[in-house]
Amino acid sequence: MLDRRVRVRFAPSPTGPLHIGGARSALFNWLFARKNGGDFVVRVEDTDVERSTLVSEEVILDDLKWLGMAWDEGVLVGGENGPYRQSERLSLYSTYWERLLEEKKAYPCYCTEEELEAERESLRNKGQMPRYLGRCRDLTLEQRQKLENEGKKPTVRFQVPQGEIIPVEDLVRGRVEFESDGIGDFVIVKSDGIPTYNFAVVVDDALMKISHVIRGEEHLSNTPRQIMIYKALGFDMPEFAHISLILGEDRSKMSKRHGATSIQQYREKGYLPHALLNFLSLLGWAPEGEREVFSLSELVQEFSLDRVSKSPAVFNLKKLNWMNSEYIKKEAPEVIAGLALPYLVEAGLLEQDLTDEQNDWLVKVISLLQEQLHFIEEVVSFIQVFFGDKIDAFTPEALEMMKEESSPRVVERFREQILQEENWEVPSIKAIFKGIGKELGVGGKKLFQPVRAGLTGSLEGPDLQNLILLLGRERVAMRLAFTLEALEHNF
Ligand code: GLU
């Protein structure tokens, strides 16, 4: 049993959009907090001043909210362990690194970037791991004073104990050991007084009473450094859980090459937030049994770190599309129509303010198309069939069908009768087909396909009677006239 209150955090660096991997880390933390009745904290790690932007922070936080991962404590919402932006915590950090300096667990380093690079290069040439060999470790006070008088601004380096094995007891990966000798004294405060990630993260996680650090595998190699800092400062250590990388289908690290990598891009295409969350939850976590579609509360119920795998997760876009289409199917057509409207307006097909009648029409059209949608943006191409008075192009299969001996007559008779039909309803349309079938002695494909081809130029599409209904009398008339004319001229 857990003996501390569960407190987890998502700590994005605002240097770009929220990526799939970051969102997955946030989700595992969020699920773990919800499952254990704990707290989910969001902290912004903006010590990389050059690359951090407020815009990126806003985008990340907005995406988290959109995905439905509300946080209990952190930026925007506040809490008793704030501030939650590292750039606002600089004085807090200095208390701790000054203590390390006093206790001789850290020291100022005056080496220039050129000197450091030369050292790394020489180690590399000898086939050794490039690292800092401790040139400034044993400088005397006078030597330091002299360098400072020359105007040199030092960094602060953590003094790594020699000859130690540093074990990381990882909840996902088990025990992973690191040799301290391979690490080299590392910088904890840059020469501008801003702490590095490895230092700030420890102070923050400790002061914010984080019980479990759940993050991407790329941070595993940082963990021994952080563990040394925890020990040096006498802080309680959290549990660590490093979740595996996300790979593309070719098994290389997921990148732009594999498709969209940011949550924004999926959002723009019209993926539903809960479908994305459901999909992300399966990247590295395996629920019991075969089931894959889970509501949010079911995910919370089912989630456990025990079932998080240490082998890499593979991002499969087809699976995401399938998952999203499952969620789209479950929604009411009114909801999907509302989500689709901005795309249709953007494509110039509809106006933003629909009349009640137009809205009813759209909802009916959507209920015909909904089953086929993988993401909402696709509605723009699927709905084209309902717009336009002419046929842009006939598919080869449609042309083939139109050349059947009975086809022109079927289309002609259908046009005559449908235009006279007073009840613009599915049963009446069905009755017309039935009558023509009897009259001309055709049935099945030969009866329905010519009309479909004549109306749309294709043999595929939504349910025919409903399509006719929603096209409306005028469009049906114009399109069939157009096709009959084309037929006469052999297309
Ligand atoms: N700011 C780090 C990142 O965005 C967070 C690492 C951590 O969770 O410790 O990768």
Q: Could you give phi then psi for residue 215, rounded to 5 degrees?
A: -155, 180
User: What is the spatial distance between Cα 102 and Cα 326, in angstroms, rounded to a whole number?
Assistant: 60
The residue annotated as part of the active site, out of 65, 146, 231, 256, is: 256
Pocket lining: 137 vs ligand 1, CB cutoff 6 Å: no
Span 50-61, pLDDT tens digits:
999 999 999 999
Q: Are 305 and 32 in contact (CB under 8 A)?
A: yes
Question: 470 CA to middle of ligand 1, Å?
Answer: 52
- Per DSSP, 458 falls in state S
For strands 39-42 and 73-74, give the pairing: parallel
Q: Which of 18, 32, 201 to mutate to test the pocket of ligand 1 (most atoms within 8 A of CB)?
A: 201
DSSP of 385-415:
GGS-SS-S---HHHHHHHTSTTHHHHHHHHH
The structural architecture, per CATH, of the domain 396-488 is Orthogonal Bundle (1.10)
What pTM was computed for the model?
0.93
CATH tag, 89-243: 3.40.50.620
Note the pLDDT of residue 254: 86
Q: Would you place residue 337 in the very low, low, confident or very high pLDDT band (cuts 50, 70, 90)?
A: very high
- CB half-sphere exposure, 16, CA atoms < 13 A: 9
Own/partner contacts of 461-467, CB < 8 Å, gap of 24 or more, are: 461/385, 462/368, 462/369, 462/372, 462/385, 463/368, 465/426, 465/429, 465/430, 466/364, 466/368, 466/426, 467/368, 467/385, 467/386
Question: 15 CA to middle of ligand 1, Å?
Answer: 11
Pocket lining: 219 vs ligand 1, CB cutoff 6 Å: yes
Q: Does 104 qualify as catalytic in the annotation?
A: no
Span 268-288, pLDDT tens digits:
999 999 999 999 999 999 999
One-letter identity of residue 215: R
Pocket lining: 201 vs ligand 1, CB cutoff 6 Å: yes
Pocket lining: 85 vs ligand 1, CB cutoff 6 Å: no
Pocket lining: 160 vs ligand 1, CB cutoff 6 Å: no
Q: Provide the 3-class DSSP secondary structure of residue 271.
A: coil
pLDDT at 28 over 60: yes
The number of helices, as runs of H, and strands, as runs of E, in the chain is 20, 12
Instruction: Please tell me the residue having the least CA distance from ligand 1 atom 6.
Output: 11
Q: Would you place residue 335 in the very low, low, confident or very high pLDDT band (cuts 50, 70, 90)?
A: very high
pLDDT at 367 over 90: yes
Q: Are 155 and 190 in contact (CB under 8 A)?
A: yes
Structural domain boundaries in the chain: 89-243, 331-384, 396-488
Exposed (0-12), middle (13-18) or buried (19+): which is 162, by Cβ within 10 Å?
exposed
Pocket lining: 19 vs ligand 1, CB cutoff 6 Å: no
Note the pLDDT of residue 489: 87
Q: Would you place residue 1 in the very low, low, confident or very high pLDDT band (cuts 50, 70, 90)?
A: very low
User: What is the spatial distance between Cα 96 and Cα 73, in angstroms, rounded to a whole number?
Assistant: 23
Find the mean pLDDT for residues 226-241: 98
**Fold (CATH) for 331-384:** Helicase, Ruva Protein; domain 3 (1.10.8)
Question: 217 CA to middle of ligand 1, Å?
Answer: 11
Find the mean pLDDT for residues 161-166: 96
Atom of ligand 1 nearest to the CA of 218: 10
Atom of ligand 1 nearest to the CA of 205: 9
Closest among 205, 206, 237 to 224, alpha carbons compared: 237
What percent of the chain stands above pLDDT 90?
A: 95
Note the pLDDT of residue 255: 83
